[in-house]
Every structure is written in C-alpha cells, then in structure tokens.
A and B are shown apart, each in its own frame.
Chain A
Amino acid sequence: MPQLEARDAVVRVLAIELKASESEVRAASSLRKELGMDSIAVANVLYALEEEYDCELELDGVVRLDTVEDLAGVLSNTPAPVSH
C-alpha cells in the first residue's frame, strides 16, 4: 500500500480510537507522548488496522514506533494477504 494511503488509514483509525477529529492527528504526532496512547490503545489500533485490511502487521517494529508516520510505514510495508 502506498505510504500516503496508509497514512490516511492510520489517521482515520486513530481518530476513532482517540474519539478525536482526524485533523487533530498529524503525521508527526507521537503516539504515546502527544496522543497519550498506552499499550492498550496502540494494541486496539493495530487490531483495527489488521481487521480492516485483513493483514498481519510486522510487530517486531512496533516497539520502535513513535509517530503516526512510523505506524503508516508499517502498514505500507505489510504485504496484502494471499487470497485463497
């Protein structure tokens, strides 16, 4: 998935989780420091993205995730599921 499309998806899912408007979620926002997300909130967002795009995000990188853009990068680099 192209990075821009992934960023839009991440922003949309984050806004639902945070009950915020999409304009409050910027690409450079830090998930934990600026958006105040804890491990459960991050898990909810990863879960929502995996459900919506039927994929498994590369979680090894999650501990290094800091910003919205980082998360969009993980989604962007995740291969689409092989259809059966």
Chain B
Amino acid sequence: MAVVITGMGCVAPIGIGLPAFSESLRAGVSGTGPVTQFDARSYGCQVAAEVRDFRPSDFLALREARSLPRVAQLGVAAARMAIDDARIPQWEDPQRVAVLLGSSGGPASYQFEQGLIFLERGLRRMSPMFPAYAHSGCIASECAIEFGAKGPVLTVSSACTSSTDALGLARALLEGGMVDVVLSGGTEAPLAPVPFGAFDRIGAMAQGFNDRPEAASRPFSADRSGFVLAEGAAVFVLERRESALARGARIHGEIAGYGATCDADNHFTQEESGDEAVRASTQALADAGVTAEQVDYVNAHGTATPQNDAFETRVLHRIFGDVASTIPVSSSKSLFGHALGAGGALELVATLIGMREGFVPPTLNLDQPDPECDLDYVAHSARPARVDVALSTSFGFGARNAALVVKRDLDAAA
C-alpha cells in the first residue's frame, strides 16, 4: 500500500508558499540575514534565517494572530497552504483526519518570552492562554482546531529528526488503516535570546560571517564553522494512494520508506562509527524496496558544523559504497538554515520540488571543498536532473538518526 503526498505548504526563510520557495530554491537564494527579531549583538553569531514578511493575520483570525506562539502560527499557515494545494475543500470524515507535526523546541521561545513578562511585569501581564499554548502539543492541536481534524493529534518531539519522524509515523498510521488523511510535517521558531544563545554558547553556530550573512551557512566547505539557526514550517497532506487517485488528486510523490534509530549513548552527537546512522538510511531504503544504485539524489542533513558534514560523508560512503560518488548530494540548509525539528519537512519540500521541476537543489557557499567531504555536493547552483528516487536524512541531539525515501509517482497523471 502506497502513501502519497497530495498537498504541500511551507513558510520558509526563502519564501512563503510554494511558488516563492521554489523560485529561490532554483535560483540558489540564501535566506540568511542579520538577526532582527531580538538584539543579538552580544552573541558571537549574529545571523539567522528568519521568515521575513510573515503576517499572521494572512492565515489566522485576529485573536490567534495576536496571541498564538509564533511556532504554532507558522505551522497553521503551512497547513492551510497544504490543504489548499491538496484541493480538499472539506474532509470526507473529520474523525479519520490526523495531525502529526514535528517540533524540537516547540513553544520554548514563547515560554521564555512569557517568563520574562512574569519577572518584569508580574503574573497579571502574562497571557491567560499560557497554559494552553506553553506545551508542545499545542502545535498539533492548533492545527486540529483550525482545520477540524478529529483523529489522533500529536506533536512529535525528537530534536532535529522531529519532522522526519512525524512524516514516517504519519505514513505508518495510514498504512495501518487507522486514519484516511494526515496533516504532517514540522514547525520551529527558535529565534529568541535563550534558544539562540544556548546554541551560540556551545559553539554550534556559524562564526565569522556577521558581516556577510548569506555566506554563513557553508555545508561541506573546508571553512565551515557551524550552522545558521532558522525558523520555518512545512506541512504535507498525506493519503493512501488509492484514495488520492479516486478523488483525482495530484500526487507530489510517495513516501516510500522510513528508518529511525538511536545511538543511545550521547546527549549531542552521533558516535564515530556511524553504525546507527547508516542503519536508519538502509532501513528506509529497504522499506522502500530500492537499492543504493536506484537513488538519484540525497538531500543531506548537512548542517555545516565541522563534525556533522565529515561524519555524514563517511556515513553516505558506507550506505552507497561504490556508487556514493556518482549520486548528487546537497544541503538545503545552505539556503534556508537549520530549522531544527522542522528541517526534515522543509528539506522534503525542496526535494519534491526538485523532483517535480527536474533539478537537484544546490549547496551554496561550497567554495573550498573539505578533503574529508569528497562527494558530489552540487556546489553553488541547481543542476538539471531527473530524480525518481531520493533519500532525505536527518540527525538529531540525543544521537537520533532518521531517513525518508521518496519516489516519484510514475503512474499517476501529473
């Protein structure tokens, strides 16, 4: 039984909505700029990939536009665009519609913001909605309320694999027959002093590019110095293929395989051997029934930290063996930064747009190849290519590994 994507929506630093996102992706436009959402002058890294020009009232009633945490607003906005894109004016059975959204920090920035109000101005000036909005589950439940989804409504929180995991689990729910439609993907809004500062403090973010932000995210480059923190959301409408075809839906692609593992030995990074990271991808490939030779493109986790990119290159060599150097690999984080738990979902949008429009998204800023990173990273510009099968990988704190395999739907009418 195949599970397919029939709707996509995104709110990203390189564009709000598919047309804008797609144009920037193809042109290789960087979404990184100076931090404007708070005063970042005291930090080593002062750049971020922000979603500019996001007006909550374009997507939400005034009450929610004023009060809902940004992370949930971005999620609702992406979900609204995905439902529009899927051309579903009304659910056939709302009780069989689920929401599974991934988010690493959830409303952490909102908690910080409200905590500061509590300290500075007292309990009275905190939002009365705090108890409803301050838990991670709110991200999924706000979508459920907004769109009337009455099935399972869950926020999946597994650090930077969150939305990859959410999508894999959404597919399992559909395969199991528990629901008919799932709104799945991820959202993240970590651009606030505490989450941003915490990453800066451990030296995980790009240093030395405050005067040229667009050059800061440089995956696989020898002079990479860390990731660019991002916000954003991407949500998909998932259905079983036969019901999608029955209603004449356009199919963006099939979620053909999912793998997830954990090293279970570290708070932060993957263990050196990469055994579990390899296993997540080989699991996903086996689940999809495809061989290494059949993979046309890899959308890498590619954070641009010194550790990740060299590690990931070794992992890809182990997964693909002799054909590793023949498969184009790129990091979309070079365009829209690292949106933590939403990263996997945003990268899936990039992968599916490339698949649809016949190109492989680029890796920007790859000026000085790192000898330890010796694959074909599609440097600087998008490359025309036919992609039928793609692997998208995510790694997360807690030494989590997750991977999705997506396939072009060859038989459906485009």
Contact = CB atoms under 8 A, between A and B. Distances in A.
Nearest to B126: A47
A45 to B, nearest CB: 9
Q: Is the interface of A mostly helix, strand, loop or mixed?
A: helix
B129 A44 contact: yes
A17 B63 contact: yes
Interface string B109-141: 000000000000000110111000000000000
A44 B128 contact: yes
Nearest to A19: B61
B412 interface: no
B62 interface: yes
Interface string A13-49: 0001101000000000000000000001001100110
Q: How large is the interface on A (under 10, 10 to 19, 20 to 34, 35 or more residues)?
A: 10 to 19
A16 B128 contact: no
B124 A56 contact: yes
Nearest to B64: A19
A56 to B, nearest CB: 7
B128 A40 contact: yes
Contact of B63 (A19, A40, A51): A19
A51 B63 CA distance: 14
B125 A50 contact: yes
B62 A16 contact: yes
Contacts of A48: 66
A2 B364 CA distance: 60
B63 A43 contact: no
Contacts of A43: 128
A47 B63 contact: no
A48 B129 CA distance: 11
Nearest to A18: B63
Interface in B340-355: none
B402 to A, nearest CB: 37
A67 to B, nearest CB: 21
A47 B127 contact: yes
Contacts of A17: 63
Contacts of B67: 44
Nearest to A57: B124
Contact of A16 (B63, B124, B127): B63
Contacts of B128: 40, 43-44, 47
Contact of A50 (B62, B66, B124): B124
A15 to B, nearest CB: 9
A56 B122 CA distance: 11
Nearest to B129: A44
19 contacts: A16-B62, A16-B63, A16-B66, A17-B63, A19-B61, A19-B63, A40-B128, A40-B129, A44-B63, A44-B67, A44-B129, A47-B125, A47-B127, A47-B128, A48-B66, A50-B124, A50-B125, A51-B125, A56-B124
Given A19-B61, A44-B128, 10 more contacts: A16-B61, A16-B62, A16-B63, A19-B63, A40-B128, A44-B63, A44-B129, A47-B127, A50-B124, A51-B125
Interface of B: 61-63, 66-67, 124-125, 127-129
Closest 9 CB pairs of A and B: A43-B128, A16-B62, A44-B128, A16-B63, A47-B128, A19-B61, A17-B63, A40-B128, A19-B63
